[in-house]
Amino acid sequence: MSARATSNTGMPAGYFGAMYAKDDDPWGFSSRWYEYRKYALTMALLSSPRYESAFEPGGSIGILSAALAERCDELICTDLSSRAIELASENLAPYGERVRAYVADVVDDWPAGRFDLIVLSELLYYLDDASLTTVVDRLPDSLTADGELVAVHWRWPVGEYPRTGDDVHEVLMASDLVHRGGYADRDFRADVFTARPLPSVAESGGLVGPPEDGHEQ
Please tell me the distance from the alpha carbon of residue 53 to that of residue 168, in angstroms, as a whole number. Answer: 24
Domain that holds residue 124: 15-198
- Structural domain includes residue 104: yes
Q: What is the pLDDT of residues 184-211, one digit of tens each?
A: 999 999 999 999 999 999 999 999 986 6
Q: What average pLDDT does range 115-139 have in this prediction?
A: 96
Contact at 8 Å (CB) between 105 and 8? yes
Q: Is residue 99 part of a domain?
A: yes
CATH number, position 37:
3.40.50.150
Query: Is residue 119 situated within a structural domain?
Result: yes
Q: pLDDT by residue (tens digit) across 25-80?
A: 878 798 999 999 999 999 999 999 999 999 999 999 999 999 999 999 999 999 98
Does residue 205 fall inside a structural domain?
no
Sheet of 72-79: strand order equals 99-103, 72-79, 51-57, 115-121, 143-154, 188-194, 178-184
- Number of structural domains the chain divides into: 1
Q: 137-180, pLDDT tens digit by residue?
A: 999 999 999 999 999 999 999 988 999 999 999 999 999 999 99
In a domain, 4, yes or no: no
pLDDT in tens, 105-121: 999 999 999 999 999 99
Q: Which of 174, 152, 167, 164 is nearest to 41 (CA)?
A: 152
Q: Is residue 7 a part of any domain in this protein?
A: no
Instruction: Report how far residue 82's alpha carbon sits from residue 163's, in angstroms, rounded to the nearest whole number.
Output: 25
pTM value is 0.90
